[in-house]
């Protein structure tokens, strides 16, 4: 039997997930990383991306979209994120709309050259990344079979 570790995923508004898992895989700023029982202590920043959770005794992974944050790995794993959504909770039409709106904004501001515009460009690109991630997770994730 595989070893388990307690995982908590916390957003500003709620405890998104709590349970014992075999592994959680998420996108850190240096790439995808998996965290399991007896993992070395770590604290890593997370990017916008998919998060994969394999619960004890399951062969399948649950997938969620997360919006940055960080993971704290000690005797348990705690993920703090700005937002998290399960695939079945994602409004695909809204994600498509948000992506189109951010892309349209970028097209009309492609020649921006002051500091405020530069910050807005970063925010628009982040909105596109979040929308793409949400669309991928709504479709079952980029790694349907692991």
Give me the sign of the Cα torsion angle 103, 107, 111, 113.
Answer: negative
Q: What average pLDDT does the segment 5-32 reach?
A: 96
pLDDT for position 114: 61
Q: What average pLDDT does the segment 90-94 reach?
A: 86
54/62 Cα distance (integer angstroms): 6
Q: Which domain holds residue 77?
A: 5-87
User: DSSP state, 143?
Assistant: T
pTM (predicted TM-score): 0.83
Q: Which helix (H) or strand (E) holds 125?
A: helix 115-138
145/128 Cα distance (integer angstroms): 25
Q: Is residue 98, in this structure, part of any structural domain at all?
A: yes
Q: Is residue 145, in this structure, part of any structural domain at all?
A: no
Indicate whether 122 and 66 sit together in one domain. no
Indicate whether 98 and 119 sit together in one domain. yes
pLDDT in tens, 103-118: 888 888 766 666 566 7
């Amino acid at each position: 039997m595989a070893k388990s570790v307690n995982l908590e995923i916390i957003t500003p508004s709620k405890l998104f997930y709590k349970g014992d898992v075999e592994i959680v895989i998420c996108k850190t700023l240096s790439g995808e990383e998996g965290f399991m029982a007896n993992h070395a202590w770590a604290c890593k920043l997370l990017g916008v991306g998919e998060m994969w959770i394999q619960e004890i005794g399951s062969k399948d992974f649950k997938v969620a979209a997360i919006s940055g944050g960080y993971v704290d790995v000690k005797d348990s794993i705690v993920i703090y994120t700005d937002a998290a959504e399960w695939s079945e909770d994602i409004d695909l039409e809204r994600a498509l709309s948000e992506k189109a709106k951010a892309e349209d904004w970028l097209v009309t501001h492609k020649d921006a050259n002051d500091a405020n515009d530069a910050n807005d460009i970063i925010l628009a690109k982040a909105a596109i990344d979040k929308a793409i991630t949400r669309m991928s997770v709504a479709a079952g994730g980029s790694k349907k079979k692991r």
